[in-house]
A and B are shown apart, each in its own frame.
Chain A
Amino acid sequence: MTTIAEFSVQYSQFLDSKSTLKITEEQLASHGINADTLLIFYKHMLLSRTFDTKAIALQRTGRLGTYPACIGQEAISTAIGLTMRSEDVFIPYYRDVSTLLIRGTKMEELLLYWGGDERGMDYSVNREDFPLNVPIASQCLHSIGVAYAFKLRQQPRVAVVVCGDGATSEGDFYEALNAAGVWQLPIVFVVINNQWAISVPRDKQSRCETLAQKAIAGGFSGEQVDGNDCIATQIQLEKAIASARAGNGPHLIEAITYRLSDHTTADDANRYRPIQELEQAQAREPIQRLANFLLERKYASESQLKEVQTQCTQAVEESVQRYLDMPPQPTSAMFEYMYQEMPEQLQQQLSQLSSHRE
């Protein structure tokens, strides 16, 4: 017997959970990372965290529907937003606040969506990005079509698609990896492995040592990064996106992180998640990790970081106010966009409903 193929999966961590930098400042600078960019990164993460905290509060007080927070995942989500170009297309799952905000989605748009209003997914800025995707892994196949269109039209654009660890068990995930490999499409798959698919832990999801290695079956490379490391996520994503843009085909990044919140506001993780595990994960979370680094290196002062928090809180409060002030949508909103032109039956049903409501 002879070995005919061998594979390996790399893991990157450049800022560890103790906020120790594992590469040199020169290396950081060579990637365009410095005190200013790290402070911007911090601000995006904190905005996401502040938004999530507020969204949960809105849900608890009856002003928002069920909400899935991204708490704990802010680093990878921010890195995606900062490394993509505006002309690229983002295909999210449903825990992508930071990426979407960086790409131009407004907080009030996300609130409208989770508040049960049809208008939320009509992003006013990032018009070609996909709406949030509630069924699991189906968005991976949309990214195939998007990236195929780029390839067909010879556009130097990249599709970035995100899914969770649970999604890697779905057929659509495997079909997408396979097709991306066959056609060498400009796609970066990001698996945000937050260790829990509602109540099912990572080790019950797959026997694979890594989720990254699933890319190998698709005929391309996969790697792991510390998803709570704002430096590793940025550097590795930038490489993957640049490579895809240059025509070198797809790549998969498994970002190791932890879901610090419940699955959604309708979930109680205490039913299944050991409290010690949560405590350990808190010590590895991305925002404090970066804050400690910024302070240690004197890249920022305590008062600067406090000011960032104040700005984030203010921005969130203003968007919540705009959300709450939105005039209600008319009943006809559910009919208007079913087809480009409303078929006769729908017109009839709408007028019946309208006359009943009057």
Chain B
Amino acid sequence: MPEFTLIEAVNAAMDYEMSVDDNVIVLGEDVGANGGVFRATDNLQQKYGELRVIDTPLAESLISGMSIGLAAQGLKPIAEIQFMGFIYAAFDQFLCHASRMRNRTRGRLSCPMVLRAPYGGGIHAPEHHSESTEAIFAHVPGIRVVIPSSPARAYGLLLAAIRDPDPVLFLEPKRIYRAQSEQVENNGIALPLDVCFTLRQGHNLTLISWGAMLTETLAAAEKLSEEGIEAEVIDLASIKPIDKSTILDSVEKTGRCVIVCEAAKSGSVAAEISAIIAEEGLTSLLAPILRVSGHDTVMPLFKLEQQYMPSVEQVITAAKKVMEY
């Protein structure tokens, strides 16, 4: 069984699906000979040719807009936006057209496209390269937003995203692109969308996170365990739609919930999860829901980025605070 880093798993999933489905094509800036700036599309153009692995002109609205036309013709485009900081020019097409093509044609045309983008901080990148703005997209009806947190989930979830008949934004936590390798069977088996993954069982509190922040969240859970506090850790994975039942079942068991997210606090996905628990799980709660998150500031230039992003200690502090109730 091959060992993959997260970025290698992304590459393997695209490679697998391109090999079995001629309708799958890849497009984006520098995805061809260069294999993408992070090498997500490494070797794909050599294998599948310039017609199926397309170096586009430098135009993000083009990348998402033409994907809509490709998808309407029955192709399955996987479009790469080089960094999430450049995705906003592509957002208009994704929001105004991709998300509603099925609805506004009563299913006559649909938009089975994947928009992939690396996101998040922690790699000392320049300005506009480190934001986590998944909540902006999660607000849009008609799309899915998916974030993997490990090589195996990157592989299985990306396959699912490519095969999904509706538009998917697939955000890749670039801080952990090469953080760990794990054995992933390259067998083309997808993971389910619209469900959370429970990574650790526990009965004292529920920790919910996604993407790279699961590193800190899992580390905090281990330290808490040393002190006799057993945290259940949930990888949200599908940011939209959210798997409410896994979250509510866990909170019913633990009575306490801390949500860890890298994004700015206000209006974040953590806020949505809090609202779900408040609406449908309030009577399970023994303590207030806490959010450990980034701040309502611009993502700082990299000298301050560690201060912006939640730390293991902050997660532990929040966990201990909810345990006081």
- Tell me whether B69 and A121 are in contact (CB under 8 A): no
Number of A-B contacts (CB under 8 A): 138
When chains A and B are docked, how far (Å) is the Cα of A142 from the Cα of B69? 4
When chains A and B are docked, how far (Å) is the Cα of A199 from the Cα of B89? 27
Tell whether A244 is near chain B: CB-to-CB under 8 Å: no
A135-B96 contact, Cβ under 8 Å, with A141-B69, A149-B69, A149-B74: yes
Collect the chain A residues with CB atoms within 8 Å of residue B56's CB.
Answer: 179
Most buried by A among B71, B97, B101: B97
When chains A and B are docked, how far (Å) is the Cα of A121 from the Cα of B109? 10
Minimum CB distance partner of A142 in chain B: B69
Most buried by A among B56, B62, B69, B109: B69
Tell whether A122 is near chain B: CB-to-CB under 8 Å: yes
Question: Which of B57, B109, B245 is within 8 Å of A175, CB to CB?
Answer: B57
Question: What 1/0 mask marks residues of chain A from 145 to 159 whose CB sits below 8 Å from any chain B CB?
Answer: 111111110000001
Collect the chain A residues with CB atoms within 8 Å of residue B151's CB.
Answer: none
- Tell me whether A118 and B104 are in contact (CB under 8 A): yes
- Tell me whether B166 and A340 are in contact (CB under 8 A): yes
Collect the chain A residues with CB atoms within 8 Å of residue B107's CB.
Answer: 122, 337, 340
Tell whether A138 is near chain B: CB-to-CB under 8 Å: yes
Question: Which of B61, B64, B92, B108 is within 8 Å of A121, CB to CB?
Answer: B108
When chains A and B are docked, how far (Å) is the Cα of A119 from the Cα of B108? 10
Question: Which of B65, B75, B102, B142 is within 8 Å of A172, CB to CB?
Answer: B65
Question: Which of B72, B105, B108 is within 8 Å of A142, CB to CB?
Answer: B72
- Tell me whether A130 and B57 are in contact (CB under 8 A): no
Tell whether B305 is near chain A: CB-to-CB under 8 Å: no
- Tell me whether A179 and B62 are in contact (CB under 8 A): yes
* Interfacial residues of chain B within 100-156, with CB under 8 A of chain A in the complex: 101-110, 141-142
- Tell me whether B57 and A182 are in contact (CB under 8 A): yes
Collect the chain A residues with CB atoms within 8 Å of residue B319's CB.
Answer: none
Question: Which of A123, A138, A149, A182 is within 8 Å of B92, CB to CB?
Answer: A138
A337-B103 contact, Cβ under 8 Å, with A141-B65, A145-B69: yes
A344-B241 contact, Cβ under 8 Å, with A138-B96, A142-B65: yes
Tell whether A210 is near chain B: CB-to-CB under 8 Å: no
Question: Which of A91, A182, A338, A343 is within 8 Å of B102, CB to CB?
Answer: A338
- Tell me whether A338 and B141 are in contact (CB under 8 A): yes
Tell whether A7 is near chain B: CB-to-CB under 8 Å: no
When chains A and B are docked, how far (Å) is the Cα of A12 from the Cα of B277? 67
- Tell me whether B244 and A121 are in contact (CB under 8 A): no
Task: Please tell me the size bucket of the interface on B.
Answer: 35 or more
Question: Which of B64, B103, B241 is within 8 Å of A343, CB to CB?
Answer: B241
- Tell me whether B104 and A149 are in contact (CB under 8 A): no
When chains A and B are docked, how far (Å) is the Cα of A29 from the Cα of B97? 43
Tell whether A247 is near chain B: CB-to-CB under 8 Å: no
Tell whether B52 is near chain A: CB-to-CB under 8 Å: yes
A122-B105 contact, Cβ under 8 Å, with A128-B72, A343-B194, A345-B244: yes
A142-B61 contact, Cβ under 8 Å, with A119-B106, A128-B72: no
Collect the chain A residues with CB atoms within 8 Å of residue B245's CB.
Answer: 344
* Interfacial residues of chain A within 302-358, with CB under 8 A of chain B in the complex: 334, 337-340, 343-346
Query: How far is the CB of B249 from the nearest CB of chain A, in Å?
Result: 14
Tell whether B165 is near chain A: CB-to-CB under 8 Å: yes
Query: How far is the CB of B60 from the nearest CB of chain A, in Å?
Result: 9
Minimum CB distance partner of B27 in chain A: A148
- Tell me whether A146 and B59 are in contact (CB under 8 A): no
Minimum CB distance partner of B280 in chain A: A348
Minimum CB distance partner of A333 in chain B: B106
- Tell me whether A338 and B142 are in contact (CB under 8 A): yes
Query: How far is the CB of B80 from the nearest CB of chain A, in Å?
Result: 15
Minimum CB distance partner of B71 in chain A: A145
Query: How far is the CB of A132 from the nearest CB of chain B, in Å?
Result: 9
- Tell me whether B52 and A152 are in contact (CB under 8 A): yes
Query: How far is the CB of A139 from the nearest CB of chain B, in Å?
Result: 8
Question: Which of B67, B106, B244 is within 8 Å of A145, CB to CB?
Answer: B67
When chains A and B are docked, how far (Å) is the Cα of A344 from the Cα of B19? 33
A131-B104 contact, Cβ under 8 Å, with A144-B66, A149-B75: yes
Collect the chain A residues with CB atoms within 8 Å of residue B70's CB.
Answer: 145-146, 148-149
- Tell me whether B244 and A344 are in contact (CB under 8 A): yes
* Interfacial residues of chain A within 76-128, with CB under 8 A of chain B in the complex: 89, 91, 118-119, 121-123, 127-128
Query: How far is the CB of B193 from the nearest CB of chain A, in Å?
Result: 9
Tell whether B242 is near chain A: CB-to-CB under 8 Å: yes
Tell whether A178 is near chain B: CB-to-CB under 8 Å: yes
Collect the chain B residues with CB atoms within 8 Å of residue A343's CB.
Answer: 194, 241
Tell whether A274 is near chain B: CB-to-CB under 8 Å: no
Closest 5 CB pairs of A and B: A145-B69, A141-B65, A149-B73, A145-B66, A122-B106
16 residue pairs A–B, Cβ–Cβ below 8 Å: A118-B104, A131-B109, A138-B97, A141-B62, A142-B65, A142-B66, A142-B97, A146-B72, A149-B69, A149-B75, A151-B51, A152-B75, A171-B61, A172-B61, A175-B61, A344-B241
- Extra 18 A-B pairs, beta carbons < 8 Å, given A141-B62, A338-B102, A343-B241: A118-B106, A121-B104, A138-B92, A141-B68, A145-B65, A145-B67, A145-B72, A145-B75, A146-B72, A148-B66, A151-B51, A171-B89, A172-B93, A176-B65, A337-B102, A338-B103, A338-B141, A339-B165
Q: Which residues of B contact A (CB under 8 A)?
A: 25, 51-52, 54, 56-57, 59, 61-62, 64-75, 77, 89, 92-93, 96-97, 101-110, 141-142, 165-166, 194, 241-242, 244-245
